[in-house]
């Protein structure tokens, strides 16, 4: 009835090596978080192997021990109690199981600050990052860089420049263009039918729990909102924020209009004269003189930063609202929608 990560943990990466990142997504209440949380605590109880919990923001560390341990404690660890204590003025928390230090909880937003406390984390053996996909699309600035920094800080010590510290990343499916999938090259490879996916240093499982889906669907509360997209997301494992409307390439000849830079990547905007559609893909012509950005982070030499009321943006917005935009994929769509401030 509940998730079993044995298969995922047995996989090698694309190069036949031991992965250091294990990604698991499924519909809600499938048991993925419970499985990996139980695994961390079990390894400590049996072998005294400490673990780390990763969150985004410091306010999430409030009552972290209760949030992490309450359910699995009642189910699997009767007689055990977990508590947390603030360290370094609340920058991170230390976790205690029956009074014995068992791990730490850290946040991505404190990535720079916790570097100086790396000696605390030198005995962490595994990491859990739950809800790595944000339902509200609310990520830290430069989140992936901060995630890498936190892992680098924790993987130091024990006389080594870097240690093997696997990360279990769990989430419900929110968006295929979340920053982790984009940075790891997953977005362009993942299909709805994908069960397992291997990459450099990572393996991914895209699961679906039938019993959890049935329970969600038959819930009297959810039945009242049967047509709401969130109910489909929670019960059927569909990506909450991914609307694939207008994902297609127009036919005919085109002319190049502009290069749009977004999140450090360049996108091409072309006009297909026969249909009147504008089309965005990632095959940018860097020799074309018109290069635009819409955020300060992307602004650089040879680019023009456009405001919301600039003629080109206003024209793009006019055409989009009338259904005249097409996109290669969701990442291209996100770039245009951000430029248009949707």
Q: What is the pLDDT of residue 248?
A: 92
Q: State pLDDT tens for residues 218-270.
A: 566 556 655 555 445 444 545 655 667 789 999 999 999 999 999 899 999 99
Q: What is the pLDDT of residue 186?
A: 87
Q: What is the pLDDT of residue 111?
A: 97
Alpha-carbon distance of 36 to 129, in angstroms, equals: 10
Which helix (H) or strand (E) segment holds residue 95: the answer is: strand 92-97
Residue 9 Cα distances to 24, 29, 196, 261, 325, angstroms? 10, 20, 11, 38, 42
Sign for the CA dihedral angle at 128, 38, 205, 234 comes to negative
Q: Which of 104, 139, 100 is nearest to 118 (CA)?
A: 104
Which of the residues in the chain have pLDDT under 50?
209, 211-213, 215, 230-231, 233-235, 237
Q: State pLDDT tens for residues 61-86.
A: 999 999 999 999 999 999 999 999 99
Q: Which of 36, 10, 42, 8 is nearest to 22 (CA)?
A: 8
Walk me through the domains of the chain, giving residue ranges and CATH numbers.
6-236 (3.40.50), 254-339 (no CATH)
Find all residues with CB under 8 Å of 83, minimum gap 6, and list them.
65, 95, 96
325: β partners: 278
Given the DSSP bridges, would you call strands 100-107 and 124-130 parallel, antiparallel or unpaired?
unpaired
Q: What is the pLDDT of residue 282?
A: 95
Q: What is the pLDDT of residue 157?
A: 76
Q: What is the pLDDT of residue 212?
A: 43
How many CA atoms are closer than 13 Å to the CA of 81, on its beta-carbon side?
A: 3
Tell me if 270 sits within 8 A of 283, measured CB to CB: no
Q: What is the pLDDT of residue 233?
A: 46
């Amino acid at each position: 009835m509940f998730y079993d990560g044995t298969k995922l943990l047995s996989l090698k990466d694309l190069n036949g090596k031991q992965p250091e990142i294990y990604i698991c997504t499924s519909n809600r209440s499938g048991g993925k978080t419970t499985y990996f949380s139980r695994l961390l605590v079990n390894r400590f109880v049996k072998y005294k192997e400490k673990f780390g919990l990763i969150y985004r923001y410091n306010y999430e560390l409030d009552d972290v021990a209760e949030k992490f341990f309450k359910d699995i404690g009642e189910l699997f660890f009767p007689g055990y109690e977990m508590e947390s204590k603030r360290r370094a003025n609340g920058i991170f928390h230390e976790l205690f199981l029956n009074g014995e230090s068992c791990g730490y909880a850290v946040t991505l937003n404190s990535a720079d600050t916790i570097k100086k406390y790396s000696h605390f984390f030198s005995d962490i053996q595994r990491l859990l990052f739950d809800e790595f996909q944000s339902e509200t699309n609310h990520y830290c600035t430069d989140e992936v860089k901060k995630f890498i920094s936190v892992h680098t800080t924790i993987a130091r010590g024990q006389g080594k420049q870097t240690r093997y510290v696997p990360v279990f990343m769990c989430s419900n499916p929110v968006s295929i263009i979340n920053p982790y999938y984009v940075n790891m090259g997953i977005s362009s490879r993942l299909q709805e039918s994908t069960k397992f996916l291997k990459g450099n240093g990572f393996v991914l499982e895209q699961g679906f729990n039938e019993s959890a889906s049935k329970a969600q669907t038959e819930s009297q509360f959810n039945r009242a909102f049967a047509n709401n997209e969130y109910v489909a997301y929670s019960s059927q494992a569909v990506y909450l924020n991914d609307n694939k409307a207008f994902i297609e390439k127009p036919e005919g000849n085109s002319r190049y209009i502009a290069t749009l830079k977004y999140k450090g990547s360049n996108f091409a905007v072309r006009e297909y004269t026969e249909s009147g559609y504008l089309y965005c893909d990632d095959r940018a012509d860097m020799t074309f003189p018109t290069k635009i950005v819409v955020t300060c982070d992307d602004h650089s030499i040879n680019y023009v930063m456009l405001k919301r009321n600039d003629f080109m943006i206003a024209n793009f917005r006019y055409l989009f609202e009338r259904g005249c935009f097409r996109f290669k994929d969701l990442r291209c769509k996100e770039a245009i929608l951000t430029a248009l401030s949707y």
